Amino acid sequence: MPPVRGVRTAPPLPLPPLPLLLLLLCVVPGTVSGTQTITIGGFFYNANNTESLREVAFRQAIEKVNAEAEASRRSIAFAYQVERLSTTNSLPASRRVCDALRRVGMAAIFGPDLEPASGHVQSICDAKAIPHVQTHMRDTSVQKHFSINLHPHPGALSKAYADILEMNHWPVFAVLYEDNESLLRLQQVLKLPQFDNQFQMSVRQLPADGHYRHVLKSVMDSKVRHVVLDCSAGHVHTVLKQAQQIGMITSEYSFFITSLDLHTVDLKDFSYSGANITGLRLIDPSDPKIIMTVREWRERQREQGVTRQLPSASSAASPLTIHARSLKTSDALLYDAVHVLAAAVRDLSTPLDLSVTPLDCAGEFMWAHGDSLINYMRMVKQDGLTGRIEFDAEGRRTFFSLDVVELKESGLVRLGSWSPRGSNMTQRARPAVQDQNRTVVITTILKDPYTMLKESSILRKGNDRFEGICVDIIDELSKELNFNYSFHLNPDDTPGRPNAKTGKWNGMIGELLEGNAHMAITDLTITKSRQEVVDFTMQWLSLGIGLLYTKPVRQPPNLFSFLSPLSLEVWIYIALAYLGVSVLMFLLARFTPYEWDHPHPCHLNQDVLENQFNFLNALWFCIGSLVQQGCDFLPKAVSTRMVAGSWWFFTLIMVSSYTANLAAFLTVETLVSPISSAEDLARQTEIKYGVQESGATAQFFRGSRISPFDKMWSFMESQEPSVFEKTRDGINRVSTAAGKYAYFMESSTIEYTIERRCDLTQVGGLLDNKGYGIAVSKWSPVSASELSEIILKMQEDGRLQRLKTLWWKNKKEGGKCLEQNAKKGSVSALTLKNVGGVFVCLMCGVALAVVQSCLEFIWAVRNQAAEENVPFASEAMKELSFVFRFRGNTKPVRRPVTVDEDEATIPFSTNSSGQYAASGYGYTSRS
């Protein structure tokens, strides 16, 4: 067979010198000594016509496969044919493929990796049923049947980029892309602002002439500090170098590089810059498997005695030196692709005889085994240099794993991994070595306890003049991040607000924008308008808007304060109960016969019986029991005793409850405040109220659309004289206004004030929730993210809380006005719900007494009617008539009828109590 120009074939293994005929038989399709040889083709773009590292990977993979086949005594071997394409034009590539198929035939074609040549070659492979193996990123709407791609699918790659950006929490970033292929990779990133309003993105294309400074300068001027860079690995160093020249490679900036070949770029010039440079990689040069594979390549090259020129990571051309660091992702993918083909052929050749025949592109014949081979290739699942290899039904690699790497002083360091099934990220470590020459200018204002001048008899200079919680926080941050700092006072003595006409900021924010300071720290609230012009750290103190007012005054005692333990309705019910029980006692005493007795027990022959419970005595008995004094007569009948017992129990509970509640009323002072909340303040006009006009509290009222805060702002603006005061003046005005002025301010400052001003207090709850942060300028040598990381650390280990306790409660007369452990709550009067059960018991006792009195009456009348032999009804009516006549308190004695009244003796009997019983006998009047 005549040799083909640009075609190179090789035997399965390096062979010693053999007859020329045997060598030719080994490189053409067929079988020799029972070994079946399958030819595959590699089409690579190479303008210099020199062997590239890609060709080395292709050839070494085939030799590795053949060596494994010989070791396992499999009767199959691979031969290869390499075609070097000098142009990306599709027509020469198509001709070279057709010429190779016509001359030797091929079982699979690898490459080319550039468009549009790759698309035309794929069409030829589809027409001739030859598997087309690709290792470059390619996304087509319709996947060809005979195509398989080991490169991660662009949709999955784009999802990886988007996930990494979301984990980095970049609210604003710029995307710098190189060509249309870059936009294909970044399709999910470009959709981020559509799905999440927290992202703001600007997109710019890098110029093709290699001069990137004006694009980078526009990003820098737009105050964007996060950059997504999508370009070829060969241009990454140039872009970063030009960014370094204009001052973008600093700790203030972050770069995310999408190229999977970042490990091949020399990044030593940027290792100590402090800039955050991160990226992704599919292969790990430090992986022992990759190191071993590259070492085998070098040994085979040395054994074969080949001297070729290979591109290196550091020079354009050098003697053959293959390193793991110079291995590109495309080379590793090609190496894995050969092994995928070998695995499919091994599985397919068991039941079939894979014979490769020459094919004519103009003819109608196709390779008979191509369809089976491509299906077997899609079912391959194995591990390679690029990790786990799996394909979907269309031959696309949708499952893979990417390493997330970050540039450190020692090089690229792995932070975690990403895969379509999830990510596993470790905490980003802060650089171990910080710039020793970073000096930060900090602006502040004098305000207790944030920043104060030290009280000293000697003249102090520099930072030694100041003390306070803000000074201590900056000192802790400087120790952690290793920077120097210098405090100076803001000449405007205000946090800052924009001018309504010019939009120019004053105060501390204005200093940051004008470049006179790098940081601003005081009781500086994080607001939306401030965040739009400067960066803020995470909040180091949480708070809200509170209301400062004078403490409530003590209420003077009332003349009738002794009535306070019981409510008015209870007093009314007690009075009604007293009258009711007195009347009932009077009625039952007349009703029952056992309450009628001789006026003088020693004189039994008296004409009348007396009832001691007349109406006045009943009232006296009940009032004596109520005040726990008693009287000289007591009930005798069971019914009246039941009423008395119920009344005594009632009075016991009521008097005890009254006494206990009276003690609380006498010991607890009732405090009266005209307002108890901001709503109470808004409903009146007598008490004035104000805020600091240029602060965040004023902005809250000014921008509020919620009632009553919007009305309160209008009220404050309309007052003359002005109610707007600076914090110190506002506190003093509250103290001296005698309850006629209230001041809205941050709750943290209120806590500090009421620890030292015992006449002031906080009224009501917080109106909102916010926090203090450190404002950082865009060009500060220490970024807000670095500071936030240390602030979070200080919160977790309790340092911030200890500093607050130190300056709020311990220093500068802290704790002068200690709050009581328990609130002094006013004692409420007892209501009917509290003592209603006592009334129920009284009613039950009274009801039982009435029933008992009725039974006693019926029993006495029955006995009397039987002895006198008179009807029960007439006797009952006679007794009832006497009871309800309510005339006098005596009753005539009724004696048994005898023959001789003067000589007759009256048989009296006594009851168990020693009293003379009248029941069971008939009585007549002596007269």
Determine contact, residues 776/770, Cβ cutoff 8 Å. no
Pairwise CA distance, residues 470 & 451, whole Å:
6
Determine contact, residues 329/386, Cβ cutoff 8 Å. yes
Backbone angles phi, psi at 674, to 5 degrees: -70, -20
Residue 443: pLDDT band with limits 50, 70, 90: very high
What percent of the chain is predicted at pLDDT more than 90?
10
Kindly tell me if the per-residue pLDDT of 1 is higher than 70: no
pLDDT attached to residue 445: 92
- Between residues 40 and 157, which one has the greater pLDDT? 40
Give the SS3 label for residue 435: coil
Residue 485: pLDDT band with limits 50, 70, 90: very high
- Per-residue DSSP letters for 599-667? SSTT----SEEEES--HHHHHHHHHHHHTT---S----SHHHHHHHHHHHHHHHHHHHHHHHHHHHHHH
Pairwise CA distance, residues 216 & 248, whole Å:
8
Backbone angles phi, psi at 177, to 5 degrees: -120, 165
Backbone angles phi, psi at 583, to 5 degrees: -65, -40
Kindly tell me if the per-residue pLDDT of 435 is higher than 50: no
- What mean pLDDT value characterizes the chain? 79
> Measured between alpha carbons, how far is residue 778 from residues 20, 486, 848 in Å?
74, 18, 90
Report pLDDT digits (tens) over 109-122: 998 888 888 888 88
Kindly tell me if the per-residue pLDDT of 521 is higher than 90: yes
Same fold, 20-152+304-396 and 169-281+402-425: yes
Determine contact, residues 922/896, Cβ cutoff 8 Å. yes
CA-based end-to-end distance of the chain: 171
Report pLDDT digits (tens) over 212-269: 989 998 888 887 888 999 888 889 999 999 998 888 888 788 899 988 889 889 888 8
Overall average pLDDT of the 792-801 stretch: 89
What percent of the chain is predicted at pLDDT more than 70?
81
Lowest mean pLDDT among 42-51, 204-213, 538-547: 42-51
Lowest mean pLDDT among 143-152, 183-192, 382-391, 627-636: 183-192
Kindly tell me if the per-residue pLDDT of 448 is higher than 60: yes
The alpha carbon of 861 is separated from its chain's Cα centroid by a whole number of angstroms, namely 86
**Beta carbons within 8 Å of 466's beta carbon, 6+ residues apart:** 444, 451, 452, 453, 454, 487
The rounded radius of gyration (Å) of the Cα atoms in the chain is 52
pLDDT attached to residue 836: 67
pLDDT attached to residue 917: 43
Give, for 158, the enclosing helix (H) or strand (E): helix 154-168
Pairwise CA distance, residues 721 & 713, whole Å:
15
Angle at the Cα of 177 from the Cα atoms of 173 and 178, rounded to 5 degrees? 165
List the CATH code of the domain at 169-281+402-425. 3.40.50.2300
Backbone angles phi, psi at 245, to 5 degrees: -70, -30
How many Cβ atoms from other residues are within 10 Å of residue 561's Cβ?
Answer: 14
Determine contact, residues 731/757, Cβ cutoff 8 Å. yes
Report pLDDT digits (tens) over 280-310: 999 888 888 888 888 888 777 777 654 444 4
Pairwise CA distance, residues 588 & 581, whole Å:
10
CATH of the structural domain 439-542+772-810, one choice from 3.40.50.2000, 2.40.128.20, 3.40.50.920, 3.40.190.10: 3.40.190.10
Tell whether omega for the bond before 319 is within 30 degrees of 0, i.e. cis.
Answer: no
How many Cβ atoms from other residues are within 10 Å of residue 893's Cβ?
Answer: 21
Fold exhibited by the domain 677-768? D-Maltodextrin-Binding Protein; domain 2 (3.40.190)
Kindly tell me if the per-residue pLDDT of 417 is higher than 90: no
Pairwise CA distance, residues 586 & 125, whole Å:
122
Determine contact, residues 804/747, Cβ cutoff 8 Å. no
Identity of residue 190? L
As given in the structure block, the two tokens for residue 2 are 């005549």
The residue written with tokens 């030292």 in the block is: 756
Report pLDDT digits (tens) over 743-761: 998 888 888 888 878 888 8
Kindly tell me if the per-residue pLDDT of 653 is higher than 70: yes
Q: Which of 419, 377, 376 is nearest to 399 (CA)?
A: 419
As given in the structure block, the two tokens for residue 6 are 């640009």
Residue 777: pLDDT band with limits 50, 70, 90: confident
pLDDT attached to residue 199: 67
Kindly tell me if the per-residue pLDDT of 832 is higher than 60: yes
Pairwise CA distance, residues 685 & 682, whole Å:
7
Element counts in the chain: helices (H) and strands (E): 28, 39
**DSSP-assigned letter for residue 534:** S
pLDDT attached to residue 579: 92
What ranges in 246-287 are assigned the alpha helix state H? none
Backbone angles phi, psi at 763, to 5 degrees: -110, 130
Kindly tell me if the per-residue pLDDT of 766 is higher than 60: yes
Report pLDDT digits (tens) over 78-102: 898 888 887 777 888 888 899 988 8
As given in the structure block, the two tokens for residue 12 are 């399965």
pLDDT attached to residue 209: 87
pLDDT attached to residue 559: 60
Q: Which residues of 528-537 are buried (b: 16+ CB within 10 A; e: fewer)?
A: eebeebbbbb
Q: Which of 60, 53, 54 is nearest to 14 (CA)?
A: 60
Overall average pLDDT of the 356-383 stretch: 88
Report pLDDT digits (tens) over 667-698: 565 556 778 888 888 888 888 998 987 777 88
Pairwise CA distance, residues 869 & 872, whole Å:
9
As given in the structure block, the two tokens for residue 151 are 């490169």
Report pLDDT digits (tens) over 712-747: 888 888 888 888 888 888 888 988 888 889 999 888
pLDDT attached to residue 606: 66
Orientation of helix 638-667 relative to helix 832-868, angle to 10°: 170
Kindly tell me if the per-residue pLDDT of 473 is higher than 90: yes
Backbone angles phi, psi at 720, to 5 degrees: -130, 125
Kindly tell me if the per-residue pLDDT of 893 is higher than 60: yes
Residue 26: pLDDT band with limits 50, 70, 90: very low
Pairwise CA distance, residues 878 & 863, whole Å:
14
Give, for 892, the enclosing helix (H) or strand (E): strand 890-892
Q: Which sign, positive or negative, has the C-alpha torsion 191, 196, 197, 201?
A: negative
Give the SS3 label for residue 745: strand
Give me the architecture of the 20-152+304-396 domain, per CATH.
3-Layer(aba) Sandwich (3.40)
Task: Enumerate the β-bridge partners of residue 890.
Answer: 610
Instruction: Return the domain boundaries, the chain.
Output: 20-152+304-396, 169-281+402-425, 439-542+772-810, 563-667+832-917, 677-768
**Beta carbons within 8 Å of 154's beta carbon, 6+ residues apart:** 137, 138, 139, 184, 185, 187
Overall average pLDDT of the 800-825 stretch: 71
Lowest mean pLDDT among 126-135, 369-378, 551-560, 866-875: 551-560
Overall average pLDDT of the 422-431 stretch: 53
pLDDT attached to residue 81: 87
Residue 444: pLDDT band with limits 50, 70, 90: very high
pLDDT attached to residue 912: 42
